[in-house]
Structure 1
């Protein structure tokens, strides 16, 4: 997919695809219940809407990260060791 507009049916379809493919464990906090797609490489930094660049995240985690590079987020918010990863990441 491309980096066009972000909203509506397109986001709903991406959300469903991300959760079906990767599961519902948030890649940002490691807890279950993720309900939104998060860009590994933020769109503001040239990331695409391809499934390979999306991971499941809680809306609150996704919103807190904003367009911060993932490496910077991980340095400030390391994943807890108790959290199992979601499928296929």
Structure 2
């Protein structure tokens, strides 16, 4: 399964991308994460549905110094063109 996500709140300058990368690696997910110009963080991830559910829960919590106000999560279906391992895009 493949998903797109977008996280808003205090998510830039608090290690959120590194947090997402670490959590994705722990779950064996493929994909990427980046900072958006409007202050949000977005990305795509792919893997088994149960692992993606765990990733979603971790993103909703965020890192210790962050504050997640809203998490958009959208299923994209199945595909296999995402980076492996999960990476931070600049």
Greater length-normalized contact order (CA 8 Å, ≥ 6 residues apart): 2
Which structure dedicates a bigger proportion of its chain to helix?
1
Q: Is the pair's TM-score, using the shorter chain for normalization, greater than 0.5?
A: no
TM-score when scaled to structure 2? 0.29
Larger Rg computed on CA atoms: 1
- Higher relative strand content: 2
TM-score, length-normalised on structure 1?
0.29
